[in-house]
Amino acid sequence: MNYELFIAKRIVASKEHKNSISSPIIKIAIVAITLGIAIMLISVSVSAGFQQKIRAKIAGFKGHIQITNYDNNNSDVSTVPLDLNQDFYPTFKNISGIKKVQPYINKGGILRTPTDFQGIIFKGVNSDYDFSFFQEFLVEGRLPNYDQKRNREVLISKSIVNSLQLKLNDTLQAWFESSTSTGFKMRKPVVVGIYDTGFEEFDNAIIVGDLKEVQRINKWKDNEVGGFEIMIDDFDELKEKGDQVYSSIGTTLNATTITDNYPAIFEWVKLFDNNVWFIIAIMVIIAGINMITALLVLILERVQMVGILKTLGSSNREIQKVFLYNASYLIVRGLIWGNIIGLGLLLIQKFFKIIELNPETYYVSTVPVNINLFHILMLNIGTLVLCLVMLLVPSMIVSKIHPSKSIKFS
């Protein structure tokens, strides 16, 4: 009996169908699978890319978790100092998954040129600061040198440079409100590096310099800072780590996560997941419907063969497996081509950045791509399984075919 079923598989899978009615329908089904998996791969990878990039950019500017004095009222500007000498600095000894703890002071100010001015936030950091984020987006110049006795060097964004018509090595006029008088204090930082993250909300405001300069402006002591930024290893553990940090610090301190500080941005990012699930559902349904049509046509074209197999003693289940086996072969063909097309387009975008975006709207300048092997495997396996499950019911039409009638069928 196995021999007859083997012959049946060969007949159903043979190239004879190229000249039959089922040929164009089978091709359409394969194309539907191909386009479906390609679109799903692109949707998932682009969505993951957007989320990864936006999270990384906000964390690069603000850290994953911020520890400040309660009296700061979650303000971007540091108004009330806290002591640098904390149990959790430079490392949290009782919390795992903490990558970096770094102090900072934010000071609001104004940059002035002979023809224009712009409000800025001067972010003062020390030599412990992790500059890998700004190094990645550095487009001109270098990072500030913290080995010198007095460091007046700053990083400034390309958008501020363009707005105020500045250039590398320019000496700026920065005015800051004095905490001890009614006037303003002027400082002359030097531009040694220009960065461009494409995140206009932060690029238009933040310049990075020496923490000691802000301490001098505020008349703070050497051990007084505005707060601490905490970088964690896994963003998915952000809420858990945020709660642990909050429980570990003093009662006069507050710990907030970037999702707490920027809820609107992260709510917008979450919408990507809803869109992706909707696209996946639509693509699977379309691919499944096309495969159902192709399977029904294949069965109807092989009615006589089904009748012969039943006459030889094959069960409905065995014959059903023959058609499902060949349907799975067609699905796999579509998946292979879909992966080639989808991954090919993603790799082109990843390395050549062909499709550009407006950073004021999307916070990134090009469409980001995050190719995840696990996502690729799950999409392929899920599509194959769901399509085969959808084919179980239409394949049962085999049981309705009677040998005596089907052999005469032509």
Distance between CA 67 and CA 246 in Å, rounded? 8
pLDDT tens across 143-160, in order?
Answer: 999 999 899 999 999 999
pLDDT at 180: 60
pLDDT tens across 188-209, in order?
Answer: 999 999 999 989 889 999 999 9
Q: What is the dihedral of CA 344, 362, 62, 178, to 10 degrees?
A: 150
Query: Where residue 312 falls among pLDDT bands split at 50, 70, 90?
Result: confident
**Looking at 79-83, 223-227, 299-303, 400-404, which range is the least confident one?**
400-404
pLDDT for residue 31 is more than 70: yes
Query: Where residue 382 falls among pLDDT bands split at 50, 70, 90?
Result: very high
The residue assigned the tokens 């790799």 is 347
pLDDT at 179: 62
For the chain, give every domain's residue range: 2-57+266-406, 81-225
pLDDT tens across 95-145, in order?
Answer: 999 999 999 999 999 999 999 999 999 999 999 999 999 999 999 999 999
- Backbone Cα Rg of the chain: 32
pTM, two decimals, is 0.84
Share of the chain above pLDDT 70, in %: 91
Mapping DSSP onto H, E and C, the string for 85-133 reads CCCCCCCCCCCCCEEEEEEEEEEEEEEECCCCEEEEEEEEECCCCCCHH
Q: Are 122 and 260 in contact (CB under 8 A)?
A: no
Distance between CA 327 and CA 400 in Å, rounded? 19
pLDDT at 23: 79
pLDDT at 14: 52
Who has greater pLDDT, 282 or 19?
Answer: 282
Distance between CA 277 and CA 290 in Å, rounded? 20
Averaged confidence pLDDT in the chain: 88
Tell me the mean pLDDT in the region 218-228. Answer: 94
pLDDT tens across 322-347, in order?
Answer: 888 888 888 999 999 999 999 999 99
